[in-house]
Amino acid sequence: MILLYFFILIYVVIIAYFNLKYPELRWNWDIINDSNLKFPKNFFWGTATAAHQVEGNCENNNWYDWENSVDKKGLPRIKDNQKSGIACDHWNNYKQDTELLKKLGVSHYRLSIEWSKIEPQQGEFDQSVLNHYSDLISYLIKNNITPYITLHHFTNPLWFDKLGGFEKKSNIKYFKNFCKTVFSIYSKEVKNWCTINEPEVYSVMGYFIGIFPPGKKNPQLAAIVHRNLLIAHTEVYQELKKMKNGDSSSIGIVKNVMQFDPARRWNLFDWIACRVSDLVYNEMSFSYLKYGKIKINIPFFIKLFYEDKQAMKATDFFGLNYYSHIHLKFKFDKHEFFENVYPKNDTMTDMEYTIYPEGLYRAIQRVKLIGKPIIITENGIADKKDDRRKLFIRRYIYAMLRSIKEGVNVKGYFYWTLMDNFEWAEGYDMKFGLYKVDFENQERKLRDGSKEYIKIINESN
């Protein structure tokens, strides 16, 4: 009996420790005044896109292959067998889309450049494509829009994937060569660069869950790919900084942060599921960037050790992508050891997560420990009915401002996304755009809920 009491005591102490260390922050929105949001004078506003999702005709990369393949059961990889195709035809419509940016009142635009178009074959660079991006960059700057260029946003050229992609550390040299080439061409005009977009999403979705290419389900390989992407960031940063215009350029990495909260705060197994998920999804990157170390040892799951002290110096800013948190409920299943559950009183987005502005505040508090300026590089809502977008925008921006008032160095905010686009495995079903897109005729129309963003930008000045 004494032994039983002892174990109960230990259990209670552990649960109390977890609850104190990882509280699920909740604000009383009935008493919060978010009607007048004033920001520092040097704070900037923007919106973001990614090449494959908006440009159209990306037919030489891993996602094109993925969209046109089927799984082991013969089912399409993308919801309802949708294809990116011409997408928003942003490739041809960038001038009109720049007008959309101006109407929003934003001063910055985060975009990615498509590696597979620039370097369609290994070592062969397409001058017409390079010229196109030069024209796009110049047009943005001419219209007082500052470009932030992302060098890798989920897509690889087919030739790179055939070599093993980021599964092999030895392949990083090909990505570095691409980055150095485009930096040498554009860095005179472009001073802000994002190396890798969401290495944890690329690795988890492609190598653990398996709904992104290459569709593998191997936890150890997922961790290796994640590590290689972090190494690629460090090496690209170091190489670009040594080049002409490197010292005057701001170069950072972009990471999605998601909190994993237990569905039952009294259940130790729920807590274990959360801590393991956080270690792989979040802490791996944080430890690498802050301490230059990766250390994961989860028996029968993942074992990975890596150290590079140079990583601590290899970023000028931290690009934070934030959408929501997840509640995990442990289950005894050899294929999946947890499931996602959603609190009854929370408001869902069209994606399978809730509106949780407090999470952006929590994410900023965690990221500030890296010790670098923070830029919110993505934040947005999938809302086809456009009945939650206004609420989402104001409350998330309020949460960001709350951090700034407490002294956190958040320099800017990019809403995701400028216009409806191809949302990866979800196809065109998820409507994140400030502008609604009719994909039959490429007409763009500002959503009513998006006017809240314009209002806040005007308020902030």
Cis ω for the linkage preceding 40 (within 30 of 0): no
Q: What angle do CA 145, 147, 150 make, to 5 degrees?
A: 155
Closest CA to 218 of 300, 283, 153: 300
Query: Is residue 201 situated within a structural domain?
Result: yes
Query: Is residue 215 situated within a structural domain?
Result: yes
- Count the domains in the chain: 1
Question: Minimum mean pLDDT among 1-15, 21-35, 126-140: which range?
Answer: 1-15
pLDDT of residue 332: 80
Query: Is residue 7 situated within a structural domain?
Result: no
* CA–CA distance, 12 with 266 (Å, rounded to integer): 9
Query: Is residue 10 situated within a structural domain?
Result: no
**Per-residue pLDDT tens for 161-178?**
999 999 999 999 999 999
Query: Is residue 227 situated within a structural domain?
Result: yes
Query: Is residue 9 situated within a structural domain?
Result: no
Question: Domain span at residue 442?
Answer: 26-460
Share of the chain above pLDDT 90, in %: 95
Length reported for the chain: 461
Taking residues 11-31, report their average pLDDT.
97
pLDDT of residue 2: 82
pLDDT of residue 337: 79
Closest CA to 56 of 10, 31, 21, 89: 89
Of the chain, the end-to-end C-alpha distance in Å amounts to: 67
Task: Enter the tokens of residue 227.
Answer: 């590590």
Taking residues 245-252, report their average pLDDT.
98
pLDDT of residue 7: 87
| Per-residue three-class SS string for 212-268 | CCCCCCCHHHHHHHHHHHHHHHHHHHHHHHHCCCCCCCEEEEEEEECCEEECCCCCH
Taking residues 291-315, report their average pLDDT.
95
Closest CA to 319 of 223, 227, 199: 199
pLDDT of residue 300: 86
Share of the chain above pLDDT 70, in %: 100
The single residue listed with the structure tokens 């800017």 is: 412
Reported confidence tier of residue 183, pLDDT bands at 50, 70, 90: very high
**Per-residue pLDDT tens for 352-371?**
999 999 999 999 999 999 99
**Per-residue pLDDT tens for 34-66?**
988 999 999 999 999 999 999 999 999 999 999
Q: What separation in angstroms does the CA of 304 have from each of 101, 205, 301, 308, 451? A: 43, 19, 10, 14, 47
Question: Which residues lie closer than 8 Å to 411 by C-beta, 6 or more apart?
Answer: 42, 43, 44, 317, 373, 374, 375
Question: Which residues lie closer than 8 Å to 77 by C-beta, 6 or more apart?
Answer: 66, 67, 69, 70, 71, 211, 213, 215, 425
The single residue listed with the structure tokens 């005009």 is: 189
* CA–CA distance, 112 with 402 (Å, rounded to integer): 30
* CA–CA distance, 235 with 237 (Å, rounded to integer): 5
Amino acid at position 394, single letter: R
CB 417 within 8 A of CB 432: yes
Task: Supply the CATH number for residue 286's domain.
Answer: 3.20.20.80
Residue 393 has pLDDT above 70, yes or no: yes
Query: Is residue 1 situated within a structural domain?
Result: no
**Per-residue pLDDT tens for 193-243?**
999 999 999 999 999 999 999 999 999 999 999 999 999 999 999 999 999
* Residue 426, number of CB atoms within 10 A of its CB: 17
**Per-residue pLDDT tens for 410-419?**
999 999 999 9
pLDDT of residue 6: 84
Residue 461 has pLDDT above 80, yes or no: no
Query: Is residue 305 situated within a structural domain?
Result: yes
Residue 304 has pLDDT above 90, yes or no: yes
Question: Minimum mean pLDDT among 189-193, 342-346, 360-364: which range?
Answer: 342-346
Residue 334 has pLDDT above 70, yes or no: no
pLDDT of residue 106: 98
Closest CA to 214 of 274, 280, 168: 168
Residue 1 has pLDDT above 80, yes or no: no
Q: Does pTM surpass 0.95?
A: yes
Taking residues 319-346, report their average pLDDT.
90
* CA–CA distance, 66 with 211 (Å, rounded to integer): 10
Task: Enter the tokens of residue 32.
Answer: 């919060």
